[in-house]
C-alpha cells in the first residue's frame, strides 16, 4: 500500500469523478469525497476508513447524497459505513443523515448533546448515538483514535471538531471554512486565502473570545493539516498561520457591537 501523508496533500491526485486519498498509512485512510457544487458554499465530505470502521465526516446535504454515496461505493459498499460525525446540525452538514440511516440503520451518529437534541427534526430518531462530549476519545481498530473537542459558538453552541491521531489531521467543521469561486483542493497562497476565510468567519463566528477559547482547547494537538467543511484544505505549511488567523480574528459580536465594547473600555 502506498503511504500518503500531509506532505503529499499539495500534489493529491484529483479527479472530480473519484474519491481523493488524503492520507493512507498503517491501515488507516482518509478520503475527500466531494462535492462538485460550484457555488461559493461548496461543502466537503470526508471518509475515515480504518479496517471495519468507516466513518463519514459531515456527510452533507440531501442534494449531494447520491454523489457522496457514489464516491463511497468507489471505495467500499456504502451499507458498510459504520458511522457519521456531525459537527453540528446545519443542513449542509447533516441533512443527509436520514438517507444514510436508510442505507444502514445501525450507523452510529457521533455528535454533541446539543446537536443530538436537534437532529431528530430531520425526521428520524432512535439511531445509535455516540456522545462526543461524554466520551471524547474513540479508538479505531488500527490503534489510531478520534479525539473530539468542543468549539462552543464556532458557530453553534454545541459545535465540535474531530482530530485524527493517525493522520494528525483536524476535521474542523465550519472553523477555518472559506467561501470562494476559484476553489482548489488545498490552499496555495495563505495570503489570498485570508479574504476567503473572512467572508465566512466575520459573519458566522461568535467572537474573538470564542476563537481564543477554542485555540486553548487544541493547543496540545500536533496538527499536520486542517480539513474544513467549506473551502480548501490547509496543508502543513499553513497550519501555524491558520492558528494565528483565528487568534487575531475579530468577528461576530466583536464587530456588530463594537460601539458597546469601546464604551465599556471607557
Ligand atoms: Fe454551520
Ligand atoms: Fe457549514
What is the CATH number for 201? Answer: 3.60.15.10
pLDDT in tens, the chain (266 residues): 589 999 999 988 789 999 999 999 999 999 999 999 999 999 999 999 999 999 999 999 999 999 999 999 999 999 999 999 999 999 999 999 999 999 999 999 999 999 999 999 999 999 999 999 999 999 999 999 999 999 999 999 999 999 999 999 999 999 999 999 999 999 999 999 999 999 999 999 999 999 999 999 999 999 999 999 999 999 999 999 999 999 999 999 999 999 997 776 54
Q: Is residue 225 part of a domain?
A: yes
Q: Is residue 265 part of a domain?
A: no
Instruction: Measure 3 CA to ligand 2 centroid, in angstroms.
Output: 30
Instruction: Measure 153 CA to ligand 2 centroid, in angstroms.
Output: 13
Total number of domains constituting the chain: 1
Q: Is residue 123 part of a domain?
A: yes
Q: Is residue 180 part of a domain?
A: yes
Q: Is residue 1 part of a domain?
A: no
First-to-last CA distance in the chain?
63
Phi, psi (degrees; rounded to nearest 5) at 135: -125, 80
Instruction: Measure 173 CA to ligand 2 centroid, in angstroms.
Output: 7
Q: Is residue 181 part of a domain?
A: yes
Residue span of the structural domain in which 33 resides: 6-258
Ligand nearest to the CA of 90: 1
Q: What is the pLDDT of residues 23-77, one digit of tens each?
A: 999 999 999 999 999 999 999 999 999 999 999 999 999 999 999 999 999 999 9
Q: Is residue 10 part of a domain?
A: yes
Q: Is residue 141 part of a domain?
A: yes
Amino acid at each position: 500500500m502506498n503511504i500518503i501523508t500531509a506532505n503529499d496533500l499539495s500534489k493529491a491526485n484529483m479527479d472530480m469523478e473519484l474519491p481523493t486519498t488524503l492520507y493512507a498509512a498503517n491501515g488507516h485512510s482518509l478520503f475527500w469525497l466531494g462535492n462538485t457544487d460550484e457555488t461559493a458554499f461548496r461543502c466537503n465530505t470526508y471518509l475515515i476508513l480504518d479496517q471495519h470502521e468507516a466513518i463519514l465526516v459531515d456527510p452533507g446535504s440531501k442534494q449531494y447524497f447520491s454523489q457522496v454515496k457514489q464516491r463511497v461505493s468507489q471505495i467500499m459498499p456504502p451499507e458498510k459505513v459504520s458511522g457519521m460525525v456531525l459537527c453540528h446540525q446545519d443542513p449542509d452538514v447533516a441533512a443527509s443523515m436520514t438517507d444514510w440511516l436508510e442505507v444502514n440503520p445501525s450507523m452510529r451518529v457521533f455528535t454533541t448533546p446539543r446537536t443530538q437534541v436537534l437532529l431528530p427534526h430531520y425526521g428520524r430518531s432512535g439511531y445509535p448515538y455516540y456522545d462526543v462530549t461524554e466520551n471524547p476519545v474513540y479508538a479505531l481498530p488500527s490503534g489510531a483514535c478520534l479525539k473530539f473537542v468542543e468549539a462552543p459558538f464556532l458557530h453553534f453552541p454545541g459545535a465540535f471538531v474531530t482530530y485524527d491521531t493517525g493522520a494528525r489531521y483536524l476535521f474542523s467543521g465550519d472553523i477555518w471554512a472559506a467561501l470562494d469561486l476559484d476553489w482548489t483542493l488545498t490552499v496555495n497562497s495563505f495570503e489570498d486565502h485570508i479574504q476567503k476565510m473572512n467572508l465566512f468567519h466575520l459573519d458566522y463566528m461568535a467572537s474573538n473570545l470564542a476563537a481564543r477559547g477554542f485555540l486553548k482547547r487544541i493547543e496540545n494537538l500536533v496538527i499536520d493539516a486542517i480539513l474544513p467543511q467549506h473551502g480548501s484544505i490547509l496543508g502543513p505549511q499553513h497550519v501555524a498561520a491558520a492558528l494565528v488567523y483565528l487568534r487575531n480574528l475579530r468577528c461576530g459580536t466583536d464587530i456588530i457591537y463594537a460601539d458597546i465594547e469601546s464604551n465599556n473600555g471607557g
